[in-house]
Amino acid sequence: MMTTPNRFSGRLAVIGGGKMGEAIVSGLLASGTVPADRITIAEPVGARRDELASRYSVGVVSDGIQALGDADMVILAVKPQAVDQVVKGLSQALARAVLVSIAAGITCARLESFLPEGSSVVRVMPNTPVMVREGMAIVSGGSSVSDEQIQTVAGLFSAVGRAIVVPESAQDAGTAISGSGPAYFALVVDALARAGVAQGLTRDTAQALAVQTMLGTAKMLEETGMHPEALIDGVSSPGGTTIAAINVLEDRAVRAAFAEAVSAAVRRSRELGS
Ligand SMILES: NC(=O)c1ccc[n+]([C@@H]2O[C@H](COP(=O)([O-])OP(=O)(O)OC[C@H]3O[C@@H](n4cnc5c(N)ncnc54)[C@H](OP(=O)(O)O)[C@@H]3O)[C@@H](O)[C@H]2O)c1
């Protein structure tokens, strides 16, 4: 079920000021969902702290416990390999807040095992387009979190794109589609841009054509709800250019390559959680 955006009235701590931590904070600030004076980021690297403090007027500290303070929600944005150690270290301080983990592959049960009984845990797989408020977040609740808390988290991520609440069993597959997805689409744009250069276009022109076409196609699919096959058929006039190109892509088994790629991402997501 897709959720609608809502303003967040509590205090937010973000543990880990890396790529995703920054992308989420910048999206939340730009959308006005959480004011800067209610966000604190914990980041261990001094140079990175300086960078974040120069870009955003949020609190930026080195220590996780200090960032937590009286936070109502804590977004854990460290690498999956660092999650166990960080959650163990913050366990007591986390008792009253909702813990939102965005770590690929790490299950709610694993997070709960480091926390006091009854702690509220939500697992979210966002993606980097949250930075431009077009993210896709997949949201699943742990064993003790309330529906209202899950909706609050989903509402926060809806403010920077879309959020969908799913059973946790769908997280690995979702991660492989939308979590990693921006890289797949960027690869397609790069491939088309290079192909355009090979055909005599400038890189800038070729990339602009590819990006706008991706954007327009996504909007068309979203707004009309049409099946992608119908869109392909609609562009493929008899004996025309598109069908000539599509036949090459089918011969090169592009669909099979995507299916294998997604399957590899699902496997990796499961490995990270084990
Ligand atoms: N990148 C994506 O597209 C994407 C998409 C969805 C979900 N995710 C998830 O988001 C999480 C973060 O990924 P990322 O790409 O943002 O990684 P990243 O750029 O490496 O950011 C992680 C940040 O957390 C910091 N950190 C490590 N230990 C910490 C601690 N004890 N307290 C506070 N900060 C700490 C790291 O500092 P150091 O550099 O010193 O380690 C680093 O700045 C991962 O779990 C990933 O699975 C990423």
Query: Which residue segments constitute the domains of the chain, with CATH numbers given?
Result: 12-166 (3.40.50.720), 181-273 (1.10.3730.10)
Contacts of 26 (CB under 8 A, 6+ apart): 55, 56, 131
Contact 127 CB / ligand 1 (< 6 Å)? yes
Contact 219 CB / ligand 1 (< 6 Å)? no
- What's the CA-to-centroid distance between 189 and ligand 1, angstroms? 26
Return the pLDDT at 5.
67
Return the pLDDT at 4.
66
| Residue 125 near residue 137 (C-beta atoms within 8 A) | yes
Contact 18 CB / ligand 1 (< 6 Å)? yes
Greatest CA separation found in the chain? 67
Return the pLDDT at 274.
76
pTM score over 0.85: yes
Print pLDDT tens along the chain (274 aa). 666 666 778 899 999 999 999 999 999 999 899 999 999 999 999 999 999 999 999 999 999 999 998 899 999 999 999 999 999 999 988 878 999 999 998 999 999 999 999 999 999 999 999 989 999 999 999 999 999 999 999 999 998 999 999 999 999 999 999 999 999 999 999 999 999 999 999 999 999 999 999 999 999 999 999 999 999 999 999 999 999 999 999 999 999 999 999 999 999 989 987 7
Atom of ligand 1 nearest to the CA of 20: 16
Q: Say which residue the tokens 């059973």 belong to.
A: 167
Rounded alpha-carbon distances, angstroms, from residue 50 to 19, 43, 58, 69 = 15, 10, 12, 21
Mutating to test ligand 1, I would choose from 51, 79, 81, 111 the residue with most ligand atoms within 8 A of its C-beta, which is 79
